[in-house]
Amino acid sequence: MVGQETALFDATIAENIRLGRLDATPEAVRAAADAASVMEFAAALPLGLDTPVGPRGSALSGGQRQRVTIARAMLKAAPILLLDEPTSALDARSEQLVQEALTRLSAGRTTLVIAHRLSTIRDADLIVVIDRGRVIEQGTHAELMALNGAYARLEALQSAGLMPVL
């Protein structure tokens, strides 16, 4: 699971990633870090993957914490992946990096994504729009846009830079 709230411990980046598979080799941890774009920032740190993240990951930015969590999930390699608002609190650059990492993470897995940011789900095989606990639309991005319903209205608002309160 990768959620909007990251669960990091006051340990090193590598130790936080290794929580996905405690028996992982340093090479496997490094490969997961590479795939999740963790190395993009960790390589610039004096201790690299051995850098402490601080309590609850406080020494890292939100996007960096999210990528460490994604690396952990990559290392776990579970067949089912649950993403709960994985890009909700990120700036545009961090969102792009996290989205790229999530695309790699989702490959070959059944992935369920809960999201208000439609950019997170645009490429999904099936999008289900729920309003007040009921399914009101479902289909691919293109199919939902063609319906010109709730999903299309949300897409228009988000494309205009307006995030609707849902």
Domain boundaries, the chain: 2-124
* Of 13-22, 41-50, 94-103, the least confident: 94-103
Instruction: For residues 136-150, give the mean pLDDT.
Output: 97
Instruction: For residues 28-43, give the mean pLDDT.
Output: 95
CB atoms inside a 10 Å sphere around CB 50: 12
pLDDT for 79: 92
Instruction: For residues 65-80, give the mean pLDDT.
Output: 92
The topology under which CATH files domain 2-124 is Rossmann fold (3.40.50)
Q: What percent of the chain has pLDDT over 70?
A: 98
Place of tokens 């099936």: 126
d(Cα 105, Cα 64) in Å, to the nearest integer?
16
**164 has a pLDDT exceeding 60:** no
pLDDT for 104: 85
pLDDT for 91: 78
